[in-house]
Amino acid sequence: MDRQEALDYMLENVKNSNLRKHILAVEAVMRRLATRLGEDPEKWGLAGLLHDIDYETTKDSPDRHSLVGAEMLESAGVEPDIVEAVRAHNDCHGLERETKMAKALYAADPLTGLIVAAVLISPAKKLAGIDAQFVLNRFGEKAFARGARREPMLGAKAELGLDLDEFVALGLEAMQGISGDLGL
């Protein structure tokens, strides 16, 4: 599956505009992480683009989220390592994330939410109006962006060899690169 096919597949299955923006943000972050880590940005981007393919159908059953998505992707002929990364990104299943791609997806997913939340409290309300330090300052505030789980992001050091500062900076840079698509 190439990027256009994956995008079309995502658009067929995801109708919520905010969820679509989240998915595009995760795709961009995954591409940037792949480039930084010497991995395949196309493949990693597909994992980001497809990671929440089932969210609208499983949102009321979080224990099914990502399992249904992985089944959908298998049926569509998506490469097995992408399918596994998608399957393992949901903590509910307790699955081991064995590949670097799966570990990156697990960390990138909540990072995008943290960055968006930081943008929304900034005066300019634009990605261009914040820097990584602004996001990092919010990171330690427990009441801020509660849904953006910190543990996966903190795991970027052990799992990917990236300090939190660099991980956040790479994610922000990636999202700034598609700010028009994100409306931020």
Dist CA 184 CA 181 (whole Å): 8
Contact predicate 150/139, CB 8 Å: yes
SS3 state of residue 99: coil
Q: What is the pLDDT of residues 149-184, one digit of tens each?
A: 999 999 999 999 999 999 999 999 999 999 999 999
State yes or no: pLDDT of 75 exceeds 90. yes
| pLDDT for 101 beyond 90 | yes
What rounded mean pLDDT belongs to the chain?
A: 97
* Amino acid 83: pLDDT: 98
Residue 144 buriedness (CB in 10 A; 0-12 / 13-18 / 19+): middle
Q: Which CATH class is domain 3-182?
A: mainly alpha
Scored b (16 or more CB within 10 A) or e, 78-111 reads beebbbbbbbbbbeeeebebeebbbbbbbbbbbb
Examine the pLDDT at 37 and tell me if it is beyond 90: yes
Residue 28: which of 92, 115, 87, 96 has the closest Cα?
115
Residue 48, Cα to own-chain centre: how many angstroms? 6
Query: In the chain, where are the structural domains located?
Result: 3-182
Model-level pTM? 0.97
Residue 142 clears pLDDT 90, i.e. is over it? no
Residue 26 in this model has a pLDDT that exceeds 90: yes
